[in-house]
Every structure is written in C-alpha cells, then in structure tokens.
C-alpha cells in the first residue's frame, strides 16, 4: 500500500540551525510547516560547531592573499588551514572566485553587506532563546581572541578599531595582567586578548537547535524524520519523495547546509559552492584548573570552548571533498599546541567529530527565491557563521516569502547575484 501524502503550506528541507529557524518563523506567521531531516534536528554541522553567536563577525573570512601566508600554507602543516589536492580540484572554480572576491576592492564591497546580516544576529536569537526557554544554554559574557606576539596583537587591534566604530561593536583590550585575572590557567604564551563583548556563547549548540525545534512544535510545526529522495514541481506547488512517504506543499525551502548543492544540480542551478571542513574533540580539564571563556588562539588558528560535554577544541578550515575520509593531522596538531596553552586533560570522545562549513565564493549566504522556479526558496551557504545567522535568515526569508519589505536589503544575498 502506498504511503499517504503529507500536505502542508510549506516544506523546509534540512533541520540545522538555518532550516529550524526558518521553520519557526514561518510557523509563527501562521503557516503549516513540515520540517524534514534524515537525522534528529541539529545533528550535523549545527551540532559540531564552536557555539559562538558571533555578533562581532562583520568581516567574513577572506582567502589569504599575502605571499607570506600563502608560502606558509603551501607545505600543508599549518594548524588553521589545510588542503587536500582532490578537494581543491573539485571546487577549483568556486575557490578561484573566492580568491578573486578576497581582493581588496571586491572585499570592501562585500564587508558592509555581510555586516548588515550579522547586525541582526543576536537580536534575532534573543526572542527565539526566550520562546524556547533556552537561557541556561547561553552566556552573554563575550569571548576571547587571544594573541601570542605584541606585533600581531597590535596589528589586529589597528584593524578592529575602525570596524568597531563603523559597525557599533564593543570590545575590550586585555593586556597580560587583565587576561590572567579572567583566565588564570593559561600559559605565559598568551600576552593579551580582545574580549568581544557583544557576542554570545552556547554550551550545547545541538541542544539550542533542539530547543528551537520544541518552540517550533509548540506553534503547531511538524517534524518529519525522513531522507529526501527527489523533489519536483507538481501542479501549483512542490512534491518531495522521501523514504517515509511523499510530501506536498505550495512552497519549498532548501536549507540543507553542505548538502544543498546536491539538489541544486538536479534543478539545473550551478552556484559556486564549496566546503571548509572542520573537526572537534572534547577534553576534560586538569584537576582543579579552569577555563572560563571561549578562547580562540588567533595566531595559530583553533578554538577552545568550555561546553557542557567538556572543553571542545574546534579546528580551522580543511579544503577537502565533503565526503572524503577524515584526516586527523590538523586536529592532532591543534591539540599539541593547545595542551601547552591551556590545562587540558584526557580526551573525552572515542572519535573526533567531522563536519563541513557550507561556503560560497563571495563569502555571503544564499537567501531568497530560486531564480527559475516558482515557490522554491534558498537558504544555505552560511559558511563560518551559520549558527550565528540562522534566526536572522529565518526572519528575512519569512518576510520575503510573505511579500513584505525585508529588514535589510536582500539583493546581495539572492541567488541571482551569481
Ligand atoms: C568546526 C566548526 C566550527 C564552527 N563554529 C561556528 C561558530 O562558532 N559560530 C557560527 O555561527 N558558526 C560556526 N560554524 C558554522 C556553522 O556550524 C554552519 O554554518 C551551520 O551549522 C550551517 O547550518 P545549516 O543549517 O545550514 O546546515 P546543517 O546544520 O548541516 O543542516 C543541514 C541538514 O540537512 C540535512 N540533510 C542533508 N541531506 C538530507 C537529505 N537527503 N534528506 C534529509 N535531510 C538531509 C542534514 O541531516 C542536516 O541536519 C562552524 C562550523 C564548523 C565546521
């Protein structure tokens, strides 16, 4: 017997931070919404990240262009960035455009656009945190961008100051003494830090997504655990075939993070997408020692996040095929450096977590209507800041789908910019 077709106003494919936030906003607007994922919500990229709601991240990560950094990247031994030639080949076109968009003139155009989106980040998380009763997961004490050399610290501060002025960010410069007051157990390698005051940290990123899902359900939203097998236009709307049966709706939102590209190709779109993979591992703290803040070792390129599950070490970027087997050298290299900086004890996970940041060649997510299909909407490519930008994306897409004027200009984020 064939399974009955589930019918809603809108289907949202992908229940990471982005899809869940969209589903929440659409349900709040009175739509019947089916949120579909093959796993429990928030169990992929939105689970394994560093958990910072990055209000400070107005400047997206550019491709390094100075000769010194490139020469250091080439031998493939840096902690912050590694590459695997196969992965570079597969994404060569998108990476070339990423490189071009990182040139000063192009980047200067992109930065204020990106900042306009980041400007909504904490403000849009706040009501969702309240609706989800998830305050206990969120800390509003900021995070530390830590430096080892006076030269790099001063150079970074010189860049930060005008950005903070232009985009209204608040930060504190902590010299060694002020840093030790906050973090008494960091080694002497740490000479100072920037305390980003406007940003929030989350002690269980997957847990926050799960809490948002409960808020969505309380609005009447439906969660369907199913793997998508195909999607097609049917009559006035869309039909999605899944392993749990068919679904139909007038409108369809594609929010499948690093898997979005798999479906775009089938619909005839060629967008410049690629992934930056990352790993994490949890550690115990040594007996009687503490780590009070999220700390990024900025000159090395990894992050330590004191979460519920332990101190989560997250790595920088690995340019590799999304599905290639893990290569744990980068994580091991980060761990070796981190052990000299912070009082890490034993590893807590049997195997490291691996995920993939869904990136675009101009560093901005794709949010808006599909250029050639009525009733199809895109929301993916949030790169390094998808955990930060989920709720803002939900609000903006809701406004666009209901034909309202969005809170910010969405032209820089629509798919037809490519
Ligand atoms: C190491 C690391 C650290 C990071 N740190 C931060 C940070 O501190 N702050 C920040 O803002 N961002 C951070 N990020 C980035 C952030 O995690 C991502 O941008 C974000 O999670 C992307 O969310 P998403 O909802 O688009 O994708 P995902 O969370 O990956 O969700 C996509 C969903 O689609 C589902 N799916 C895929 N295919 C199918 C199918 N066929 N059928 C059904 N379902 C399917 C998947 O199961 C998945 O749940 C980090 C990323 C990494 C890797």
Taking alpha carbons only, the member of 5, 3, 4, 15 closest to residue 253 is 15
Residue 324's pLDDT is what? Answer: 95
Residue 94's pLDDT is what? Answer: 96
Quick one: 183 and 211 in the same domain?
Answer: no
Structural domain tally of the chain?
2
Quick one: 26 and 160 in the same domain?
Answer: no
Quick one: 172 and 146 in the same domain?
Answer: yes
Residue pair 53/61 in contact by the 8 Å Cβ criterion:
no
Domain of 72, CATH number, reads 3.30.9.10
Task: Write down which residue in 360, 378, 402 finishes a domain.
Answer: 360
How far apart are the CA of 44 and the centre of ligand 1, in A?
Answer: 5
Task: Write down which residue in 331, 360, 389 finishes a domain.
Answer: 360
Quick one: 277 and 311 in the same domain?
Answer: yes
Residue 75's pLDDT is what? Answer: 86
Quick one: 243 and 265 in the same domain?
Answer: yes
Any alpha helices (H) in 102-221, and if so which ranges? Answer: 104-118, 121-132, 150-167, 176-182, 205-218
Quick one: 71 and 165 in the same domain?
Answer: yes
How far apart are the CA of 48 and the centre of ligand 1, in A?
Answer: 8
- In short, whether 183's Cβ falls inside 6 Å of ligand 1 is no
How far apart are the CA of 384 and the centre of ligand 1, in A?
Answer: 10
Residue 66's pLDDT is what? Answer: 87
Ligand 1 atom with least separation from CA of 355: 53
Extract the tokens encoding 297. 């070792």
Q: Is residue 220 in some structural domain?
A: yes
Q: Give the C-alpha distances (Å, rounded to integers) separating 251 from 33, 235, 245, 256, 307.
A: 10, 12, 18, 16, 38
Q: How far apart are CA 165 and CA 152, in angstroms?
A: 20
Q: Is residue 190 in some structural domain?
A: yes
How far apart are the CA of 256 and the centre of ligand 1, in A?
Answer: 8
Determine the residue of 14, 328, 366 to mutate for testing ligand 1's pocket, defined as the one with the most ligand atoms within 8 A of the Cβ atom: 14
Residue 2's pLDDT is what? Answer: 62
- In short, whether 237's Cβ falls inside 6 Å of ligand 1 is no
Domain of 33, CATH number, reads 3.50.50.60
Quick one: 294 and 335 in the same domain?
Answer: yes
- In short, whether 382's Cβ falls inside 6 Å of ligand 1 is yes
Residue 413 CB: number of other CB atoms within 10 A?
27
Quick one: 170 and 212 in the same domain?
Answer: no
How far apart are the CA of 381 and the centre of ligand 1, in A?
Answer: 9
pTM reported for the whole predicted model: 0.98
Quick one: 159 and 25 in the same domain?
Answer: no
Range of the domain at 339: 61-93+136-203+273-360
Quick one: 246 and 154 in the same domain?
Answer: no
Return the bridge partners of 193, or none.
146, 174
Quick one: 291 and 191 in the same domain?
Answer: yes
- In short, whether 44's Cβ falls inside 6 Å of ligand 1 is yes
Query: What is the mean pLDDT, run by run of 10 residues, along the chain of 418 residues?
Result: 85 98 98 98 98 98 88 88 86 95 98 98 98 98 98 98 98 98 98 98 98 98 98 96 97 98 96 97 98 98 98 97 96 98 98 98 98 98 98 98 98 98
Ligand 1 atom with least separation from CA of 380: 26
Q: Is residue 102 in some structural domain?
A: no
Q: Is residue 148 in some structural domain?
A: yes
Helix (H, G, I), strand (E, B) or coil at 223: strand
């Amino acid at each position: 017997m064939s399974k009955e077709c589930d019918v809603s106003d809108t289907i949202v494919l992908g229940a990471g931070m982005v899809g869940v936030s969209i589903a929440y906003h659409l349900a709040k607007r009175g739509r019947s919404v089916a949120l579909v994922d093959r796993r429990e919500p928030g169990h992929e990229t939105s689970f394994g990240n560093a958990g910072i709601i990055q209000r400070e991240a107005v400047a997206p990560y550019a491709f390094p262009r100075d000769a010194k950094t490139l020469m250091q990247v080439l031998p493939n031994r840096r902690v912050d960035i590694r590459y695997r030639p196969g992965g570079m080949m597969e994404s060569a076109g998108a990476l070339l455009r990423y490189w071009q968009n990182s040139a000063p003139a192009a980047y200067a155009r992109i930065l204020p656009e990106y900042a306009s989106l980041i400007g909504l980040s904490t403000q849009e998380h706040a009501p969702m945190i309240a609706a989800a009763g998830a305050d206990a997961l969120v800390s509003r004490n900021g995070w530390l961008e830590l430096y080892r050399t006076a030269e790099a610290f001063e150079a970074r501060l010189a860049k930060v100051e005008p950005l903070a002025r232009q985009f209204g960010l608040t930060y504190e410069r902590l010299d060694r003494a002020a840093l030790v007051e906050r973090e008494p157990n960091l080694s002497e390698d740490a000479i100072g830090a920037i305390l980003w005051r406007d940003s929030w940290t989350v002690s269980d990123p997957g847990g926050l997504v799960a809490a948002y899902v409960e808020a969505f359900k309380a609005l009447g939203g439906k969660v369907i655990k199913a793997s998508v097998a195909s999607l097609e236009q049917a009559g006035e709307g869309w039909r999605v075939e899944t392993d749990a049966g068919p679904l139909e709706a007038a409108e369809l939102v594609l929010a499948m993070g690093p898997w979005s590209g798999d479906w775009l190709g089938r619909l005839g779109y060629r967008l410049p997408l690629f992934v930056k993979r990352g790993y994490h591992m949890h550690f115990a703290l040594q007996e009687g020692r503490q780590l009070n803040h999220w700390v990024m070792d900025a000159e090395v390129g990894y992050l330590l996040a004191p979460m519920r599950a332990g101190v989560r070490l997250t790595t920088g970027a690995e340019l590799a095929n999304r599905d290639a087997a893990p290569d744990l050298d980068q994580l091991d290299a980060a761990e070796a450096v981190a052990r000299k900086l912070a009082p890490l004890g034993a590893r807590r996970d049997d195997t490291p977590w691996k995920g993939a940041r869904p990136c675009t060649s101009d560093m901005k997510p794709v949010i808006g209507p599909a250029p050639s299909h009525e009733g199809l909407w895109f929301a993916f490519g949030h790169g390094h800041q998808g955990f930060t930008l989920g709720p803002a994306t939900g609000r903006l897409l809701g406004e666009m789908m209901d034909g309202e004027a969005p809170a910010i200009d969405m032209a820089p984020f629509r798919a037809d910019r490519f």
